[in-house]
Amino acid sequence: MSKKVVNYDGYDYDYTQYWKDREYENNAEHLVLDDFLKDEQGSWFIDIGGSYGRLADTYANKFEKCIVLDYSLKTLKANSPIVKEKFPNVTFIAANAYKMPFKANSFDGGLMVRVLHHIERQKEYFTELSRILKDDSIYIQEFANKIHLKARIRALLKRDTTLLDKNPLQQPTINMEGSRDGDVSFLNYHPEYVKKIMEECKIEIEEAQGCSYLRIPIFKKLLGANLLTLLEEILQRLLPHSNIPPSIFLKTEIDKEDENTPSHQTLQQILACPKCKNSLRFGENVAVCNNCQRDYIKSNNIWDFRVE
Ligand SMILES: C[S@@+](CC[C@H](N)C(=O)[O-])C[C@H]1O[C@@H](n2cnc3c(N)ncnc32)[C@H](O)[C@@H]1O
Ligand SMILES: [Zn+2]
């Protein structure tokens, strides 16, 4: 397995196109997020691996200041002006989820959707996540479910015992999200594995919700997005905790004893060196670490804090 960060900038790939004929899947994910976030509010919110801000409409009206963080600077540059027009409180930042450029206890909430399959060092990621979130903050984690119904049937027919193993399963990645086979990781997870590792990192699971129950090509062809969305809503209510669908969302709460920093801080006040986590001094389009002296550049209004 490669240990490199997945870099979508390296492919000739526009992720917005992936969603052009996936209205049902997009609606299904919005149903879960709208429900999980319905009573939430706060100061700072972060969408980790948020790409072009597909999910900004689920949180940007609830939290005062929001960040879409992604490693793909190209995607951020192309889409930031479009999202900002609708949601001026959303800021795009290029950075690595393993090494985020924020001070401890900066955020009241966050989410990660369709990204954990690229995260090979899960414990390192969840430790970093827990550092930047405040005590009691809300965090939503989506992951690709290894033991979904189709996979179980397939395994039974082939008498394959792979699904009994709780470790992540590497999927073949040819043409998935623009990748060439083998050059990115695409992990499916056993729900027990994700829950265990999150709890070890002081992230308490509050609720689970299966999603995309009807992600089957023939249904999509026959039923159309509106009817599928309606049926999805019913299935989500009837079978919230089932491990049948291909995607699972966990609503979690951060549980740590750190003292929370006051809310209502500016972006410059929460930013820190992604490498050594020390404070930064700011010029107009440059930030320099007061400790390791690394510098970081802002262009097209987007900070580039990417480090490996
Ligand atoms: C399949 S897309 C999902 C985008 C978005 N969350 C959504 O659901 O529409 C995966 C995104 O994760 C980003 N990503 C993968 N690994 C990352 C990392 N280590 N740090 C930051 N972003 C990462 C990629 O650049 C890509 O934009
Ligand atoms: Zn530094």
Average pLDDT for residues 2-26, to the nearest whole number?
83
> What is the residue with the minimal CA distance to atom 14 of ligand 1?
49
Write the single-letter amino acid at 261. T
> Average pLDDT of the chain?
92
- Encode 55-90: b = buried (16+ Cβ within 10 Å), e = exposed: bbebbbebbebbbbbbbbbbbbbebbeebbeebeeb
pLDDT band at 7 (very low <50, low <70, confident <90, very high): confident
1 pLDDT more than 50: no
270 pLDDT more than 90: yes
pLDDT in tens, 116-125: 999 999 999 9
pLDDT band at 197 (very low <50, low <70, confident <90, very high): very high
| Higher pLDDT among residues 12 and 221, named by residue | 221
pTM for the model stands at 0.95
Backbone angles phi, psi at 25, to 5 degrees: -60, -40
CATH code of the domain occupying 8-264: 3.40.50.150
Q: How far is ligand 1, taken at its centre, from the CA of residue 164, in Å?
A: 28
pLDDT in tens, 146-169: 999 999 999 999 999 888 899 999
Compute the CA torsion angle 228, 173, 199, 69 (nearest 10 deg). -80
Give the DSSP H/E element, type plus range, for residue 269.
Answer: helix 267-270
pLDDT band at 220 (very low <50, low <70, confident <90, very high): confident
Write the single-letter amino acid at 246. P
- Encode 266-276: b = buried (16+ Cβ within 10 Å), e = exposed: eeeebbbbbbe
| Higher pLDDT among residues 38 and 178, named by residue | 38
From 13, 68, 70, give the residue whose CB has the most ligand 1 atoms within 8 Å, as the site to mutate. Answer: 70
pLDDT in tens, 35-91: 999 999 999 999 999 999 999 999 999 999 999 999 999 999 999 999 999 999 999
Point out the least confidently predicted range of 7-11, 142-146, 174-178, 270-274.
174-178
The predicted pLDDT at position 13 comes to 78
Q: How far is ligand 1, taken at its centre, from the CA of residue 5, in Å?
A: 10
* Ligand 1 environment, Cβ below 6 A: 5-6, 8, 15, 49-51, 54, 70-72, 75, 96-98, 113-115, 118, 177
3-state secondary structure of 98: coil
Q: How far apart are CA 172 and CA 166, in angstroms?
A: 18
In this structure, which residues have their CB less than 5 angstroms from ion ligand 2? 273, 275-276, 278, 289, 291-292
The predicted pLDDT at position 2 comes to 52
pLDDT in tens, 241-269: 999 999 999 999 999 887 767 777 999 99
Q: Which numbered ligand comes closest to the C-alpha of 76?
A: 1
The predicted pLDDT at position 173 comes to 66
Average pLDDT for residues 16-34, to the nearest whole number?
95
